[in-house]
């Protein structure tokens, strides 16, 4: 099943939800010896390996972090080749001074926002779904 590519349809049906818990971004030089059962994201960069983890997992592993986030998921099945969805929700969040860190999965887009901004971000995304981009 292929994902949705029509921007208007994506926006109308994105249905953002908040995943339970809080999440952090950490970096490690190696995965050796780490139990990453609860890891929700990983990306290898030249400087190290970025991990997205539940905060409790990072604390258990004694990993440092400076950003505590809420994880929002757009439940619409968006196609990886869809154009404009990220720009539309990023612009809407920007107007409310909310930073977002986006991860595109095969089925859904995932947005990490500061934990303190989560409720406002959900309201902004809900309004975007109801009215479309300004």
What does the pLDDT look like over 26-35, one tens digit per residue? 999 999 999 8
Cα radius of gyration (the chain): 16
How many CA atoms lie less than 13 Å away from 43 in the CB half-sphere?
9
Q: What is the pLDDT of residue 2?
A: 82
Every domain of the chain and the residues it spans: 7-131
pTM for the whole structure: 0.94
CA distances 81 to 2, 5, 18, 73, 132, Å, are 10, 7, 24, 18, 20
| pLDDT of 134 higher than 70 | no
Q: Work out the pLDDT band at 52, boundaries 50, 70, 90.
A: very high
Top CATH class, 7-131: alpha beta
| pLDDT of 1 higher than 80 | no
Residues sharing a CB contact under 8 Å with residue 88, sequence separation 6 or more, in sequence order: 7, 11, 128, 133
Encode pLDDT of 75-132 as tens digits: 999 999 999 999 999 999 999 999 999 999 999 999 999 999 999 999 999 999 998 7
- Summarize the confidence of residues 37-59 as an average pLDDT: 97
């Amino acid at each position: 099943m292929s994902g949705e590519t029509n921007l208007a349809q994506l926006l109308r049906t994105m249905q953002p939800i908040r995943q339970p818990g809080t999440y952090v971004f950490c970096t490690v030089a190696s995965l050796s010896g780490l139990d990453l059962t609860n890891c929700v994201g990983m990306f290898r960069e030249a400087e190290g390996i970025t991990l997205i983890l539940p905060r409790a997992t990072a604390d258990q592993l004694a990993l440092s972090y400076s950003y505590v986030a809420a994880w929002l998921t757009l439940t619409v099945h968006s196609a990886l080749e869809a154009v404009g969805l990220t720009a539309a929700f990023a612009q809407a969040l920007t107007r409310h001074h909310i930073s977002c860190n986006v991860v595109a999965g095969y089925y859904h887009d995932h947005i990490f926002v500061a934990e303190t901004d989560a409720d406002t971000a959900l309201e902004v995304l809900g309004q975007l779904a109801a009215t479309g981009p300004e």
